[in-house]
Amino acid sequence: MDKYRRIGISRVLGLLGISAKLDLVWLLRDTRYAIAGIIADVIANLSIVSSVFFIAVRFGGIGSMNSDEVLFMMAYSTMTTGIFMLFGAGNNIHISRIIGRGQLEHLFIQPLPLGTQLATSGFMPFTSGSNFVIGIALLVVAVARLGVEVSLPWILSLLLYQLVTMVTIVARAYLVSSMAFYSPVGAEEISHYAINGTWLLSTFPLSGMPAAIQYSLVTILPEGLMAWFPALCLLGRPPLGLGEYYPMLYAVILSIIAGIIFRKGMKHYVTKGSNRYVPYGFRR
Amino acid sequence: MCPTDFAVSLRGVTKHFLQWQRDNTGKGLVRNLLRPEKRSIMALDDVSFSIEKGEFVAYAGPNGAGKSTTMKLLSGMLLPTLGEISVLGVSPKKNRRALMNHMGVLFGNRTELWWDHPLIQSLEWKKVVWDIPEDVYRKNLETVTELLELKELLKTFARELSLGQRMRADLAMLLLHSPELILLDEPTLGLDVVAKRQMIDFLKRINRDNGVTIVVTSHDMDDLEEMAQRVLMISKGKIAYDGGFNGLRDITGNLTRVTVTMEDESMPELLHARLLSSQNRAHEFEIDLEGTSVKELMRHLSNLDGISDVEIKKAPIEEIIARLYREWR
């Protein structure tokens, strides 16, 4: 039997392309409902970030952050949400649903590494890209108001921090999702709760909060690393004296732990099997 | 023959599960928290068999016998507790990705179709994910569309297909990458007579014309007998029978059905026969040909007065199997 081929860039682009095509045809086929969904997403996310921004405007800033810096942080957060929705629309990030519903077997029969399948199967740029676009628009406004000098290294830093934030989100989702290998019914929705349940906390500027809360939210829980910490790093003021590389270190350590625990759970799954197959929600 | 020459080869495969046990009493709930009770289930117990390339094999057994477990082991979805598995010459555990380019798996109660898209969209998705060359895709699409009568359904949303149409569509999708081996778990489940007929004819055709090795499980033994040349029967995790369908009849005795229709209300008397039913002067008997030969039976029937019709046929395979299942319990 032939050896399987390496998964190159063109193959990944092809897989992203077919996911994007499925998204586009859905948008064009059910346009009214798709647009309604997009608008609802945008309103929901703008409500979260604008409420924080309005508080900052009303009180002349939050902690040591002025209202424009808060706007910058909100823009960063909206972009993160946007990327999450761009690539994670098919339960591929909320993986506890796929594990808990006994649906990993649909992935096992594809001639692709699981990582490639999971990284490409939830790509929905047309119906889930709106928050990313709005995040960029907010970022442009915030950067202009703050007078940040936008250079190539700064843009690369922004992209790197966004990548690190996404790695942290995915690692946390996969870490908590591993519980679904052992308790498929109880932990089916755990990834959703772990991420969405603390989303409001992720968009709150921690500046001015007691140090114990700040440290807790960049160590025990990563909420402070979702927008607050990287936004201040990008503005040249890394908080807590942890240094601007701290989010990368956290993401790497969390990824390693999540990788080990998820692999252990996967071994459990293929050894014990899943006796709970649910036919719905496997595709998206 | 070494394992790599076979389409499927299992050697001493054992699969063992632990099943949680719980009761609803207060004491039981507390005990469950402290020390959960678990029961050991032996799904497969030292199972060995081989399937040659091009064979059409039925894999049958009562509920919980280990059929689906075997299918999952063959497709790398589960790992065996002990033993070696070779599928198309490679280990499903180590070569899952390569194997999936050469085999197809279909579970009757699941679908690989994109529910909220037209059928053709799912087929195009498969082309990209399996990296099927354009010419192979076009040729296979044309073939399956024609043979499975899917032309009218290509633009229909998967969610709007009937069960029979959905199974045909799933089968079409399964075959787009020209698999050498296909594993079908209950493919005729819930299908009506026409849909079942189409499915069976199609499977027989691709086995005969393309040499595709097929392993199929079903509870419908009549379907299996029509499709497969060989049947592997599994019971309590062990292979209980491996051979042809006629051989199965021999196991339970050479049972034959004789229906004698009389001109009047009289009851015929046959040797070594058991009366099964009587209706409208037609009396159906089960006769064990181990005890009497066909020649003797015919001679005896010809000596009886008042017979208007005689029909002799093999005992239905369903009954043979039911008898076996009862014995295995």
The label of the residue with tokens 């870490």 reads: A175
Q: How far is CA B246 from CA B192, B229, B259, B293, B314, in A?
A: 27, 10, 21, 17, 10
Chain B within 8 Å of A15 (Cβ-Cβ)? Answer: yes
How far A32 CA lies from chain B's nearest CA (Å)? 16
Nearest chain A Cα distance for residue B19, angstroms = 10
pLDDT confidence of residue A275: 73
A172 falls in which pLDDT band (50, 70, 90)?
A: very high
pLDDT, chain B, mean: 85
Q: What is the pLDDT of residue A278?
A: 74
pLDDT tens digits, A252-262: 999 999 999 99
Q: Quick check: A277 contacting B, CB < 8 Å?
A: yes
Sequence-separated (6 or more) residues with CB below 8 Å from residue B146: none
pLDDT along chain B (329 residues), means of 10: 76 87 79 80 90 92 84 91 92 90 88 90 94 92 88 91 88 91 86 80 89 88 85 86 80 75 84 82 81 79 83 72 69
Q: pLDDT tens, A59-104?
A: 888 888 899 999 999 999 999 988 988 998 788 888 999 998 888 8
Enter the DSSP assignment of B89. T
Q: Which of residues 297-316 of B touch A (CB under 8 A)?
A: none
**B225 CB-side CA count, 13 A:** 16
Q: What is the pTM for the complete model shown?
A: 0.82
Tokens of A213: 């809360």
Give residue A213's pLDDT. 92
Amino acid B64: pLDDT: 78
Q: What is the mean pLDDT of residues A145-162?
A: 92
pLDDT digits (tens, 9 = 90+) for A218-258: 999 899 999 999 999 999 888 888 888 999 999 999 999 99
Packed helices A67-87 and A31-58: angle between N→C axes, nearest 10 degrees? 160
If you average pLDDT over every residue of chain A, what do you get?
A: 88
CB contact under 8 A, B109 and A108: no
- B16: its two tokens: 């063992």
Answer whether B128 sits within 8 Å of A18, measured CB to CB. yes
Which pLDDT belongs to residue B214? Answer: 94
Contact A3 B17 (CB under 8 A): no
Answer whether residue A168 shows pLDDT above 60: yes
The proportion of chain A whose per-residue pLDDT surpasses 70, expressed as a percent, equals 96
> With bands split at pLDDT 50, 70 and 90, how would you rate the model's confidence at A273?
confident
DSSP letter for B270, please.
-
- From the list A22, A106, A108, the residue facing B117 with the nearest CB is A22
**Coil, helix or strand at residue A157:** helix
